[in-house]
Amino acid sequence: MLSLRESIYIFGGYSTSEDVADIDSYVSQNPTDTFYMGSAHMRLAASDSVGEWCKHPKPIFGHLFANSTCLHGKIYNMGFHDLDPQLFDPTSDSWESITLPSELQGCFLSMFAMPDPSHDRIILHLERGSLPSPSIYAYYPSSDEWKLIVFDFSDWDPVSAVADGVIYFNYYKCHTLVAAYDLKSLKWLDVHLSDTVVDGSYILINRFKELLYLGDNSFCLSVHSLQIANSNSIRVSFVKFTIERTDSVINIIPQSASHFILPHTSYLRNMIALS
């Protein structure tokens, strides 16, 4: 699920008990099913009213699963397990393939693709194929180039984001909220968490589910509970924080903590930040 300007895009596949050859016929016969072939598009309303679902072209291939991200107004679907990149341009409502260099053909995507807008690139963690060890690569759309950033780098926790050339990620019982790795110096940064009390309580969550970069050195960590006992609801918690960097030191300053109950909900798959 991706947010781009005034729209939300969903990429992925479908699941039915039968092979569907005629989608329009299937939808007309099963009007209560939520069904899409590879992609869906909702245009957000200008006010708080409900958005509008729009017809959207399916990806060229890999319609069952997608590892996608946004960068500078375009969507990049990098594939799922196999690296099969393609580009969607909302202005022309069309897809096109992205050519892979020979050394990356057959590679495996082991982590989510992450945008790094300040460096005009997409960060990917690749392994297998002809690579001797797992490595971090970057794709630069403006020049259509692929570059090796870090050789022999094991994967990280999927609760992660890239900002200004630094990978931030949260992991189980991370006592500083995030760890940080600099893609320029190729070094781990020294992270310190302020002992600030946020909204009258300390932050004692063992593991978060999402890390969202909000821009201007601001981040948001989120986590949701399992369905609350004896109710059709779940609890969602957010921690917003900012970072201050001095050389190789990252200072984490918590800004706010909030909690919400989502009624009539039994499961929350993921969340995105809306601009």
Question: What is the structure's pLDDT at 218?
Answer: 95
Number of separate domains in the chain? 1
Distance CA 70, CA 260 (A): 28
Q: Which pLDDT tens digits describe the chain residue by residue (275 residues)?
A: 888 888 888 876 554 444 455 555 666 666 555 555 667 788 887 666 677 877 766 666 655 567 889 999 999 989 877 898 999 998 888 889 999 999 999 999 888 899 999 999 999 999 998 899 999 999 999 999 999 999 999 877 788 999 999 999 988 878 888 999 999 999 999 999 887 666 655 565 667 888 999 999 999 999 887 766 677 888 888 889 999 999 999 999 989 888 888 888 877 777 788 76
In a domain, 59, yes or no: no
Decide: 142 and 116 in contact? Cβ < 8 Å. Answer: no
| Residue numbers of the domain that contains 182 | 156-275
For 27, phi and psi rounded to 5 degrees?
-65, -40
Predicted local distance difference test score (pLDDT) of residue 155: 74
Is 50 within a domain?
no
The CA distance from 131 to 175, in Å, is 34
Question: Which residues lie across from 190 on neighbouring strands?
Answer: 249
Angle ∠(59,3,31) on CA atoms, nearest 5: 60
Residue 22, domain member (yes or no): no
Structure tokens belonging to residue 222: 């989120």
Residue 5, pLDDT score: 80
30, part of any domain: no
Burial zone of 233 (CB within 10 Å; 0-12 exposed, 13-18 middle, 19+ buried):
middle
pLDDT at 17: 45
The reported pLDDT for the residue numbered 65 is 61
Q: What is the largest CA-CA distance in the chain?
A: 61
Residue 237 belongs to some domain of the structure: yes
Q: Is residue 14 situated within a structural domain?
A: no
Q: Is residue 4 part of a domain?
A: no
- Residue 273 counted as domain residue: yes
What pLDDT, on the 0 to 100 scale, is given for residue 111?
85
- What is the structure's pLDDT at 216? 93
